[in-house]
Amino acid sequence: MNLNIENRSKIEKMICGALQSAIDAHGPITKDNKNSAAKRILGQLRSEAKEQNATITKNNGPVIRPIKNA
Backbone angles phi, psi at 2, to 5 degrees: -95, 150
**The pLDDT value given to residue 5:** 64
Report d(CA 19, CA 42) in Å as an integer: 11
Report d(CA 65, CA 46) in Å as an integer: 6
**The pLDDT value given to residue 11:** 81
Identify the H or E element spanning 36: helix 34-52
**The pLDDT value given to residue 62:** 58
Taking the CA atoms of the chain, what radius of gyration do you get in angstroms? 13
pTM of the model: 0.64
Contacts of 14 (CB under 8 A, 6+ apart): 5, 41, 44, 45, 48
pLDDT by residue, tens only, the chain of 70 residues = 456 666 677 788 888 999 999 999 999 999 998 999 999 988 888 887 777 776 666 666 656 665 565 4
Provide the residue ranges of all domains of the chain, joining segments of one domain with +.
8-64
